[in-house]
Structure 1
Amino acid sequence: MCIIPGLNTIPPEVVIKIFGELSLLEALHLAATCCRLRQILDENTPTIYERLRRQIQCEKYARVLLADQGVLPSGSSVTIQGLLRLRRNSRIVEKAIDVFDRDITPHIRIPTTDVDDEFYGGKTRPLHLTPTERHRFTRSYYQVWSIFLLDRPSRQQRYRSMLLKHLYMLYEMIYLDQPIGDKTESLSFNEKRTELLQEVDKLLRSLYHHFHGNEFINFSGYSISMRTQGHAAIWDHCQPDLKCIVCFSWRSPKKQPVKVEGVWDCTTEEE
């Protein structure tokens, strides 16, 4: 039964379009107001989701996490239960960003004004993550959360699908000084974190030598002049240095050049 006057006269196709113009949270709230709206969302979730997904940051990685959580079996469409879990997961990421912006971001110090001029429009570096930094954080957070759920063979397969650049970011995110996902700090969780750090460190060194024939170059935030609190790969002003390292831009001209697309994602950070 619908308690909203006149709603039953609106064609389902129109309601579907309305759902598609909302954010994920707004769509869920709208569906909760009426049995008919809930039914339309439930019966047309795949169609509606194709429009909703455009507003979900790092949607590709959010969907991978759903699959790793067992909410989205391989090849299946997103259900209304999947939408609810997507929203729950995104809220956990948002809370992690809030903690990061409280504990880490305000302490970033840039020693030279020319860096501010180049990357922050001549203004002092903001006390919160920029949109591109939020994207890097969100993507890496989803990736680490997923990896925590996988067994060793599945993790190794996942690592092989990642670019060298993203492995650097993954390594830093594993170091994040707060729980990952909906896990609480525990002995087993900390043991898993240590295990993952060892795996990714070993892979980074192996891949770096494979691509560049050179010993692995670290990009720890503690080893560069700008105080980056151990998360150098996330900051906008550190991207040129990270790219030089990942692509080994100063390598000997006698060596075969490395194809950038093999180690570095050339799309924009918002994509």
Structure 2
Amino acid sequence: MAEDIAGRGDPIKTLQLMWGTADSPKRGPKAKVGLNDLVMAAIAIADAEGIEAVSTRRVAEAVGISAMSFYTHVPDKAVLLDLMLDAAAGLRAGDAPVFKAEHWRANVAFVARAFRDFYITHPWVLQISTHRPVLGPHTLRSYEIFLSAFDGLGLSEIEMDLSVTLIANYVHGAARDVARAKMVKELTGQSDDEWWYAIAPYLETLDFSPYPVANRIGPVVGETYGLGDPDMAFDFGLERILDGLALMIDKKR
């Protein structure tokens, strides 16, 4: 999956648009559409066709304005991508949950699964590198919610942030695998099961004795879930990470 990059556009202009502090045009007729209309149209295109389908011209056409009119709202596609990321984060966040510290494992699992569902719903987000963070109001609210799942556990500020990063990186990787599986099926026109059935006769002719452990484990895995059960894998990995965090948190108490 090819990656685009967040933070490539004018950083101050991007922040002004995100936070609603950009100057409005002082002359001319009232605009037919607003900034939010453009951003939501771009998200809809990305959800349906992928981030590659998003262009300033395509977004402008979607809301019924000219490409030149688009630029009176957003200076370029680089800024648009950041606006999309922040707006999409707002679509993810519902009412802020009230976390109780004694239920921290359930709290963290809840947030992790919510992030995974978000990525699966909006897989194009996985194709945009956010090494430079998007500092819009919706993104910061999501960060606030995630941090709150670790609040009141005796962790330092750095430990809280690193715990969030640990979970976020795991969820990102797990969701990326789901998105890739869907992409492979679309590109090949063949499901994973169909692929297995196609190669099974040839595999049966091979000698796997030099690989005794793999030869013992592989057939069991194949019969259980083929190339993988993403839900099982995600739950297993998340529980092991929570087990590790529990050791750190217990030492703080």
One fold, TM greater than 0.5? no
If the length of structure 1 is used for normalisation, what is the TM-score? 0.28
* Higher RCO, Cα 8 Å, sep 6+: 2
If the length of structure 2 is used for normalisation, what is the TM-score? 0.30
State which structure, 1 or 2, has the greater radius of gyration over its C-alpha atoms.
2
